[in-house]
Chains A and B, each alone.
Chain A
Amino acid sequence: MKTMKFRFIAGATMAAAFMLLGGCEAYAMHIMEGFLPPGWSLFWTAVSLPFFVLGFRLMRKIVADNPRMKLLLAMVGAFAFVLSSLKIPSVTGSCSHPTGVGLGAIMFGPSVMSVLGAIVLLFQALLLAHGGLTTLGANLFSMGIAGPFVSYGIYKLADGMKAPRSMAVFLGAALGDLVTYVVTSLQLAAAFPSATGGFAAAMFKFLGIFAVTQVPLAVSEGILTVMVYNAILSYAGETMFGSATLSGEVK
């Protein structure tokens, strides 16, 4: 009973979120195609590639060890798909979207999300002209690597400090979401330092655009992640994914 109600509520939340989007212009919040100079495009691609390879290997190992994990992997990827399509209005008067990568990072460890994040980014770059192929490496680093690693780290830290599980998941997902956009600001500021104020002035400018907009969305992402995490946990049980082999993957 509880579970069916939950699903209804989750569905209603998403439906309501959709209705709100009428007022939003369609944009994704990643770095736009062609908007990073070639040198930086190459740099971020080179930085992201090892994480992607590592994540891909780990994912294959997870599936080989326990084929049932395929379903859970698909589900955390699907969660990122849903959340990164929801452009939500924010206090700054502009729209942004959550990333949805925190859930998978908490359940499977951060490197797996570099693969799932890449799939989401590729979908948006090719079909929606959001983000882009030349900026894929940079966007993957912010959304598929930095965000998930912070999510995972915060979750482990809070869990280690005996915080309630829901609180640890909330903090991990929300802060990972926020960090993604801080990193985006950093990437843009590094590529486009202000002529007068240098890197710091540009960073401040981009932070004002991305990070401030993202604060309420990070809270939303944290809440939604807790709801879905709790649902998966109550259906799949601790035995299936609360085990040490899953959450303790990072080396």
Chain B
Amino acid sequence: MMKKSILKNLLLAALVIALAVVPLMTLKHAEFGGADGQAEEAITELYPSYEPWFAPFWEPPGGEVESLLFALQAALGAGVLGYGLGFLRGKGESAGAGQP
């Protein structure tokens, strides 16, 4: 039973990775830009005169700082999620109701 669920999770994880890797491998010349950048272009195509009427108060200076903030976002989320899972598991164990 235990082995089965490990295998299942491994397969699921492999599938998620494959879903991201396959486009990277097959589309050699794609830029993999953001879909919202393309939407911006589409809007300019449809309405060449459209000017954004509001600009962000602050933009991350450069791609590296931006990556930092995105990584921070993921790290915060993963930290809280991991804490929660660990807390629930530990509580289940000490109550004797959780998994051995």
Q: Which residues of A contact B (CB under 8 A)?
A: 1-3, 5-7, 9-14, 16-18, 20, 23-35, 37-38, 71-72, 74-75, 77-96, 123-130, 132-134, 188, 192-195, 202, 205-206, 209-210, 213-214, 216-217, 219-220, 223-224, 226-228, 231-232, 234-237
Question: Nearest Cβ in chain B — how far from A96, in angstroms?
Answer: 5
Question: Please, how many residues of chain B have a CB less than 8 angstroms from a CB on the other chain?
Answer: 66
Chain B contact surface mostly:
helix
A130 to B34 CA separation, bound complex (whole angstroms): 11
Q: Mark B1-28, 1 if CB is under 8 A from A, else 0.
A: 0100110011011011101111110010
Q: Which residues of B contact A (CB under 8 A)?
A: 2, 5-6, 9-10, 12-13, 15-17, 19-24, 27, 30-40, 42-43, 46-47, 50, 52-60, 63, 66-67, 69-71, 73-74, 76-82, 84-85, 87-89, 92, 97-99
- 30 pairs, A vs B, C-beta closer than 8 Å: A2-B99, A10-B9, A17-B20, A18-B74, A23-B32, A25-B33, A26-B63, A31-B39, A33-B55, A79-B77, A81-B74, A81-B77, A82-B73, A82-B74, A87-B70, A93-B30, A93-B31, A93-B32, A94-B35, A124-B73, A125-B56, A127-B60, A128-B69, A134-B54, A194-B46, A209-B42, A220-B20, A227-B9, A236-B88, A237-B98
Question: Nearest Cβ in chain A — how far from B83, in angstroms?
Answer: 8
Query: A24–B34 contact, CB under 8 A?
Result: yes
A211 to B32 CA separation, bound complex (whole angstroms): 15
Question: Nearest Cβ in chain A — how far from B99, in angstroms?
Answer: 6
Query: B36–A30 contact, CB under 8 A?
Result: yes
Q: Identify which of A37, A192, A223 contacts B12 (C-beta below 8 A).
A: A223
